[in-house]
Amino acid sequence: MGIISTSRPDFGAIKAAIHRKLIQRLNLERVTQMGREAVRPEVAQIVESLAAEENTPMTLQERERLSTEVLDEVFGLGPLEPLLRDPSISDILVNTYKSTYIERHGLLERTNIQFRDDAHLMSIIDRIVSAVGRRVDESSPMVDARLPDGSRVNAIIPPLAIDGPCLSIRRFGRDPLGPDELIQNQSLTAPMLELLPMNTGHDGSMTTIHANTPRDALGRLETMVAMANLNIPDTATRRQIASAIDVVVQISRQSDGKRRVMTIAEVTGMEGEVVTMQDIFMFKKAGIGEKGEVLGEFVPTGIRPKFAERLVTSGFTLPMTMFEPQTVRGNGRSW
């Protein structure tokens, strides 16, 4: 699904004028109870009548588009609705009312979607947060919320947002990626996946932390413990981390838009006051191809993880060949 483009420079002003008059003519309480599709014919008729009153010749396509956008304003999130209907979009970034970006297939691109002004964008933000019982104003200028489909929303307004209200929507894929798709998308290799297929019922759990490297992840975890003001000695915190965490999986989005497992590292214990780690698998970047694709390969480091022995006692035996460094596993290609 493509993004709707503007066909004439004054279309926004025409839509705003007709929209104001439409709101005056419609019984909004009755309309919202009827539902979007039930009221569509009535809206189309009023739009056609108002376009004639405005003495503005409009094509059939423009009238249909205007009806859709007016319905989006009444029932949905206004200019954001065509973006929300596009399943290929994973992120929507409204950087003030004049500029909207999207992320599609891992790449950012600017759209021609705009709001009329700060007040228009604020009305959409208010509609989102009020639906989940939240509020955003000068006393509480930043808010997190969720859309009905589970998408995460973050909004920030003045005085924290200097240039005007900003909004971000992080969407979740409708179809979760399976093991075969992860390998096909070159996110990791079959041996790496075999080392990782943790399911409900296994001991332990999984969590996410934002960091640049596996070592950095442990450092940030230690910092978060310190921020809790529990007065726990640094050494005690590190020992807790070393005993609680077995594996750190570093995932990064590369310049070609693809997310790859860059490193699988094992936490092996403590040496003095330092948490020790060792890399099991890693992605070695070799350069950039002619079409902008990242070139490289997933390689084992040759180190057999210590937790392999614990897996054996649980009935899982990992073949030693998967850790041999001289063979590139998966489909045998360099990526």
| Rounded mean pLDDT for each run of 10 residues along the chain, 335 residues in total | 45 68 65 71 76 72 78 82 89 93 86 89 90 85 88 92 93 76 85 74 76 93 89 91 92 87 94 93 92 90 87 81 65 40
Residues 80, 169: contact at Cβ < 8 Å?
yes
Cβ 97 vs Cβ 165: under 8 Å: yes
The domain locations on the chain are 1-72, 76-175, 179-323
Quote the CA–CA distance of 122 and 127 in Å, as a whole number.
8
Between CA 135 and CA 129 the distance in angstroms is 6
Q: Which of 284, 274, 323 is nearest to 303 (CA)?
A: 323
Q: What is the distance between the alpha carbons of residues 303 and 92, in angstroms, rounded to a whole number?
A: 41
Phi, psi for 74 (deg, rounded to 5): -80, -45
Distance in Å from the first CA to the final CA of the chain: 30
Q: Which of 232, 292, 241, 297 is nearest to 269 (CA)?
A: 241
Q: Per the structure block, which two tokens stand in for 152?
A: 């995460």
What is the residue-wise DSSP string for 192-225?
A: HHHHS---BTBSS-------SSHHHHHHHHHHHH
Q: 213: exposed, middle or buried (C-beta count within 10 Å: 0-12, 13-18, 19+)?
A: middle
Give the global pTM.
0.64
Backbone angles phi, psi at 260, to 5 degrees: -130, 150
Nearest by Cα to 118 from 169, 72, 161, 83: 161
Q: Output the CA–CA distances (angstroms, integers) from residue 179 to 42, 184, 194, 196, 239, in the order listed.
A: 49, 9, 10, 11, 34
CATH top class, domain 76-175: alpha beta
pLDDT at 10: 62
Q: Name the nearest CA neighbour of 122 among 153, 97, 139.
A: 97
Nearest-angstrom CA–CA distance, 41 and 49? 12
| Amino acid 52: pLDDT | 73
Kind and range of the H or E element at 128?
Answer: helix 118-130
Residue type, 179: P
The label of the residue with tokens 């065509």 reads 82
Measure the CA–CA gap between 163 and 165, rounded to whole angstroms. Answer: 7
